[in-house]
Amino acid sequence: MNLLLVTVVTILVLGLAGTVALWLAVRSRNMHIWLGDYFRRPARPRVTEPTHVMFCFVDHYEPMWGKADLETQRRRVDRWCRDYRAMAGRHRDADGRHPQHGFFYPEEEYVEEHLDKIAALCADGFGEIEIHLHHDNDTAENFAASMRRFCTTLHERHGALSRDPRSGEIAFAFIHGNWSLDNSRADGRWCGINNELVLLRELGCYADFTLPSAPSDTQTSMINSIYYATDDPQRPKSHDRGAPVRVCGVPEGDLMIVQGPLGLNWRERRFGLVPRIENADVRRSCPPTPARVDAWVKTGIHVEGRPEWVFVKVHTHGTQERDIDTLLGPAIDAMHDHLERVYNDGTNYILHYVTAREVYNIVKAAEAGKCGNPNDWRDYILPPPPHRTSRADA
């Protein structure tokens, strides 16, 4: 159903005044940016074999959130290291792996003792550390220097991040603070660099995991995709659209963009009229209910030509006190119970808990024409970081 048809149907159902009110609400949430792609995007092709579900949880992990003092930061990190180990230790996927948490740690919030604790949790088989960054009015030179320094520190001091065997360089996944990848905010805040995609590639970034960012105006018009973006150094938001990764395709552009599910939640409407945005954000105000899990899987994000491998990437801001009980307590336990009961029956679905690095490896394996069990391709290109000495979890 295209956007014109939706508009016509809306006018017939609601009348002109109702339609105007609806579209004003839509624009206030920046939904006009991506609704066209949402309605145009074809459904995932039907498959006759079990669907493999790659479940990836990435966290904008900010111990200093709210300008917290050191003791508050320590309490946040200590609780995560204690309670996540206990919660995730009760769950396993089809490969015997525990849930994997992606700690995207901010460069500007580096505290050695926090990273030591998180690295120990990851070494026990519960996730991997990647890079997050908040910056504003930055320059290419400062950005490159900051990122190189942080990559070296994470790798050499904390055993995080892999080395790409093809280049020998440290490799990392990236999430941009304030969603502002490639200077994508309309007001130009919280970045400042129009050639950020090129810089990230040159610095060793293998994929960006920022999106979706709706309802922010940084949201791209291309959604529910894994694609290559080509940078235009003269313009912001070069990743607004790109070339989908496809089986037997070739890499193109500057950076792989791995998106999480984005859509409309018609069950919960604002003012009884406007559907809420489903943006794969997990927190107290939007807990990971079974209905949301089903919607994420149904979105069917995949490499073109490999629809039996579905990627579900969800995100959170894990250190905010109002949300920690949701992220480490009964709600997240129930989410994993649902995943393991419904999406790991071995007949219709097979569940794989994966890190960002493993998502990239499995995507690249699909692109190369690999098939079968994606568990075989977790380390296809990038090996585990030093603190992950084995693929087998404890």
Render pLDDT for 22-66 as a digit per residue (tens, 0 to 9). Answer: 555 666 689 999 999 999 999 999 999 999 999 999 999 999 999
Q: What is the DSSP letter of 50?
A: P
Per residue in 223-269, pLDDT (tens digit) is 999 999 999 999 999 999 999 999 999 999 999 999 999 999 888 77
CB 133 within 8 A of CB 177: yes
Strands (E), the chain: 51-60, 101-106, 127-133, 162-163, 170-176, 205-208, 226-229, 243-244, 255-258, 263-270, 274-278, 309-316, 349-353
Strand, helix or coil for residue 204: coil
- Whether the pLDDT of residue 8 is over 70: the answer is no
The pLDDT, as a whole number, for residue 9 is 54
CB 353 within 8 A of CB 94: no
The pLDDT, as a whole number, for residue 83 is 98
Where does the pLDDT of residue 20 fall: very low under 50, low under 70, confident under 90, or very high at 90 and above? low
The total of other beta-carbon atoms located within 10 Å of residue 341's CB is 11
* Alpha-carbon span 349 to 297, nearest angstrom: 10
Architecture of domain 49-377: Alpha-Beta Barrel (3.20)
Q: How far is CA 151 from CA 106, 123, 128, 162, 195, in A?
A: 11, 18, 14, 10, 20
Query: Average pLDDT of 5-25?
Result: 54
3-state secondary structure 244-284: ECECCCCCCCCEEEECCCCEEEEEEEECCCEEEEECCECEC
CB-based contacts of 383, cutoff 8 Å, min separation 6 = 162, 163, 165
Per residue in 328-364, pLDDT (tens digit) is 999 999 999 999 999 999 999 999 999 999 999 999 9
Among candidate residues 213, 149, 154, the one with its CA nearest the CA of residue 181: 213
Per residue in 169-183, pLDDT (tens digit) is 999 999 999 999 999
Q: Lowest mean pLDDT: which of 10-19, 85-94, 181-190?
A: 10-19
The pLDDT, as a whole number, for residue 7 is 55
Among candidate residues 260, 27, 65, the one with its CA nearest the CA of residue 178: 65
* Alpha-carbon span 206 to 194, nearest angstrom: 19
Environment class of 241 (CB within 10 Å of its CB; exposed 0-12, middle 13-18, buried 19+)? middle
- Whether the pLDDT of residue 272 is over 90: the answer is no
CB 308 within 8 A of CB 350: no
Q: Lowest mean pLDDT: which of 177-181, 257-261, 271-275, 368-372?
A: 271-275
- Whether the pLDDT of residue 18 is over 80: the answer is no
Positive or negative: CA dihedral 205, 181, 335, 321:
positive
The pLDDT, as a whole number, for residue 321 is 96
- What's the whole-model pTM score? 0.93
Where does the pLDDT of residue 394 fall: very low under 50, low under 70, confident under 90, or very high at 90 and above? very low
* Alpha-carbon span 259 to 313, nearest angstrom: 7
The pLDDT, as a whole number, for residue 59 is 98
The pLDDT, as a whole number, for residue 2 is 58
Per residue in 117-127, pLDDT (tens digit) is 999 999 999 99
* Alpha-carbon span 71 to 73, nearest angstrom: 5
Where does the pLDDT of residue 3 fall: very low under 50, low under 70, confident under 90, or very high at 90 and above? low
Q: Lowest mean pLDDT: which of 19-28, 83-92, 140-149, 282-291?
A: 19-28
* Alpha-carbon span 341 to 24, nearest angstrom: 41
Per residue in 291-308, pLDDT (tens digit) is 999 999 999 999 999 999
The pLDDT, as a whole number, for residue 391 is 42
Query: Average pLDDT of 130-159?
Result: 98
Per residue in 186-234, pLDDT (tens digit) is 999 999 999 999 999 999 999 999 999 999 999 999 999 999 999 999 9
Distance of alpha carbon 348 from its chain centroid, rounded?
A: 25
The pLDDT, as a whole number, for residue 266 is 84
- Whether the pLDDT of residue 70 is over 50: the answer is yes
Residue 105, CA atoms < 13 Å, CB-side half-sphere: 28
Assign residue 123 a region (left: φ > 0; alpha: ψ between -120 and 50; beta: otherwise): alpha
Query: Average pLDDT of 277-283?
Result: 97
Distance of alpha carbon 297 from its chain centroid, rounded?
A: 14
Q: Lowest mean pLDDT: which of 16-20, 101-105, 152-156?
A: 16-20
Environment class of 39 (CB within 10 Å of its CB; exposed 0-12, middle 13-18, buried 19+)? middle
Domain ranges of the chain: 49-377
